[in-house]
Amino acid sequence: MSDLPYCPKCQRPRSLPVKPMDACPQCGIIYAKYRPTASIEPLKALPQQEEELPSWPNRLLSPWLYVPERVSIEVLIGRALVWLAFALWSIYFFRAGVDWEKIGGSFLHNINLPFHEFGHVFFRPLGETMTILGGSLFQIMMPLGICLLFVYRQQEIFGGSITLWWCGQNCIDLAPYIDDAPYRALPLTTGNESGHDWGNLLTQWNALEKAHSYALLSRRVGVVIMLLALAWGLWIVWQQYQNRTGEFVPDE
Under a CB-based contact definition with an 8 Å cutoff, are residues 164 and 225 in contact? yes
The verdict on residue 9 lying in a domain is: no
Under a CB-based contact definition with an 8 Å cutoff, are residues 132 and 197 in contact? yes
What's the pLDDT at 84? 98
What's the pLDDT at 4? 61
What's the pLDDT at 109? 95
Q: Residue 16: pLDDT band by 50, 70, 90 thresholds?
A: low
The verdict on residue 184 lying in a domain is: yes
Identify the CA nearest to 68 among candidates 242, 247, 230, 232. Answer: 242
DSSP string for the chain: -TT-SB-TTT--B--SS--TT-B-TTT--BGGG--PPPPPPPPPPPPPPPPPPPPHHHHHHGGGG---S-EEHHHHHHHHHHHHHHHHHHHHHHHHTT-HHHHTTSHHHHHHHHHHHHHHHHTGGG-HHHHHHHHHHHHHHHHHHHHHIIIIII--HHHHHHHHHHHHHHHHHHHHHHHTTTT--S--TTS-GGG-HHHHHHHHTT-GGGHHHHHHHHHHHHHHHHHHHHHHHHHHHHHHHHTEESS-----
What mean pLDDT do residues 44-53 have? Answer: 60
Residue predicted with more confidence, 173 or 60: 173
Indicate the average pLDDT of the chain: 86
- What gap in Å lies between CA 157 and CA 210, rounded to an integer? 37
For the stretch 202-214, pLDDT in tens is: 999 999 999 999 9
What's the pLDDT at 25? 72
Mean pLDDT is lowest, of 49-53, 88-92, 139-143, 238-242, for 49-53
Q: Residue 187: pLDDT band by 50, 70, 90 thresholds?
A: confident
- What gap in Å lies between CA 61 and CA 66, rounded to an integer? 10
Range of the domain at 225: 68-245
- What gap in Å lies between CA 31 and CA 22, rounded to an integer? 6
The verdict on residue 45 lying in a domain is: no
pTM for this prediction: 0.75
Residue predicted with more confidence, 184 or 47: 184
The verdict on residue 29 lying in a domain is: no
Domain count, the chain: 1
Is the pLDDT at 248 greater than 50, yes or no?
A: no
The verdict on residue 158 lying in a domain is: yes
Half-sphere exposure of 34 (CA within 13 A, CB side): 21
Query: pLDDT over 70 for what percent of the chain?
Result: 79
Is the pLDDT at 230 greater than 80, yes or no?
A: yes
For the stretch 133-159, pLDDT in tens is: 999 999 999 999 999 999 999 999 999
The verdict on residue 104 lying in a domain is: yes
Under a CB-based contact definition with an 8 Å cutoff, are residues 158 and 81 in contact? no
The verdict on residue 252 lying in a domain is: no
Alpha-carbon torsion 105, 108, 110, 114, what sign?
A: negative
Residue predicted with more confidence, 50 or 199: 199
Is the pLDDT at 240 greater than 70, yes or no?
A: yes
For the stretch 96-129, pLDDT in tens is: 999 999 999 999 999 999 999 999 999 999 999 9
What's the pLDDT at 77? 95
What mean pLDDT do residues 74-92 have? Answer: 96
What's the pLDDT at 244? 85
The verdict on residue 165 lying in a domain is: yes
